Amino acid sequence: MFSWDDLAQRAGVTHDEARRSAERLRREGFPVVSLDGQGCTIPEDEDILCLPGIYRGLATRVLGRQICYTLTTGSTNDDAKALAGICPEGTLVTCEAQTKGKGRLSRQWESPRGGIFMSLILKPQIPPAAVPSLALAAGCAVAAALEATGIDAEVKWPNDVLVEGKKLAGILCELGATGAGVQHVIVGIGVNANIPASRLPQELRERSISLSQVVGKPVDRSTLIARVLNQFEPLYFRFLESGIEPIIPEISTRLAYLGQPVMIHNTALGSGDVHHGILRGLDRDGSLLIETPEGDILRFAAGDLSLRAK
Ligand code: BT5
């Protein structure tokens, strides 16, 4: 247990501010236990991210070398965007829960406590058109990190990771650009690590899955974050050198629905723009190849597209 004075001194705030902060955390649902009004603590077995744990697991040169951490925030992607001008490449922004987690096309990413919410600030010198393929590389890194812990994961084009056919992780790449080109790319990764189904809305429970459900116990999120970064960094360096092409084989071995019937539609254009066919794989630039019933190969660049098994 920490006394209020101890906490106040460590945080550089007054005794009263320390008490108020602890109270606010408790109201936000964090397991802050207070003893006889003398101070407070968080029980040791509680699932709170451990920054030294992330640093300990890191084998990277650039990614995650600087970490910005908050308990609750709107969206780590938004925070990363705000920090991009002053933080070095590879900075990781992470938190315990998001109140305005974002998916693509203004969709919502459910972000209750127990999940991993991480955004990387990258500063690649690439054309804007190459940015969406970074989501594939990030998805591949998440899948590889899971495989290293014995979990079979698939990359669902263009930005999801599936386990047991259900969505476990989603990736949102956002671009900051001026007329002169890409200034920064924020790669946001959300992973359902220790999220019980009861913390997700009813309509998502069938389609989503959390790692704790798969392995039957909570996973160590700090270690997993480090593993994802360790997997992503070499892919990112290769991407910087030669684009997505050299990484395509690694993504392809994990590609969901390969050889299976799928439908794809342009979410922005509405349900009229639907194509059916067999998923044949990825083109050299990360575009998706689908063979129509007539035997034509259609090519889809990652955009506002939604892919489904038929
Ligand atoms: C994504 O969008 O999958 C991108 C998700 C990116 C989230 C990360 S968390 C850190 C960073 N900060 C942010 O604010 N965002 C990034 P999309 O392909 O559009 O999928 C969104 C759809 O996935 C929703 O419309 C739901 O159907 C579903 N969904 C929402 N929350 C989910 C969850 N926790 N688990 C599984 N599916 C979810």
Mutate to test the pocket of ligand 1, among 95, 109, 117 (most ligand atoms within 8 A of CB): 109
d(CA 209, CA 195): 8
Beta bridge partners of 69: 94
Q: What is the DSSP letter of 146?
A: H
d(CA 252, CA 186): 24
Does the pLDDT value for residue 90 go beyond 90? Answer: yes
Minimal-distance CA residue to ligand 1 atom 29: 109
Type of residue found at 129: A
d(CA 226, CA 168): 18
Atom of ligand 1 nearest to the CA of 77: 12
- Read off the tokens for 36: 């006889």
For ligand 1, the distance from its centroid to the CA atom of residue 94, given in whole angstroms, is: 15
Q: Is the CB of 159 under 6 A from ligand 1?
A: yes
Q: Residue 203: which residues within 8 A CB-CB, separation 6 or more?
A: none
Least confident interval from 19-23, 45-49, 171-175, 286-290: 45-49
**CA atoms within a 13 Å half-sphere pointing along the CA-CB vector of 188:** 23
What are 35-84's pLDDT values in tens digits? 667 888 877 777 888 788 899 999 999 999 999 999 899 999 999 999 99
Sheet strands side by side (includes 305-309): 297-300, 288-291, 274-282, 261-266, 305-309
Q: Is the CB of 167 under 6 A from ligand 1?
A: yes
Residue 185's φ and ψ, nearest 5 degrees, are -125, 130
- Read off the pTM: 0.90
Q: Is the CB of 101 under 6 A from ligand 1?
A: yes
Minimal-distance CA residue to ligand 1 atom 28: 109
pLDDT at 25: 79
Type of residue found at 260: Q
Query: Could you count the other beta carbons within 10 Å of the beta carbon of residue 112?
Result: 17
Minimal-distance CA residue to ligand 1 atom 15: 102
Mean pLDDT computed over 281-301: 93
Minimal-distance CA residue to ligand 1 atom 36: 208
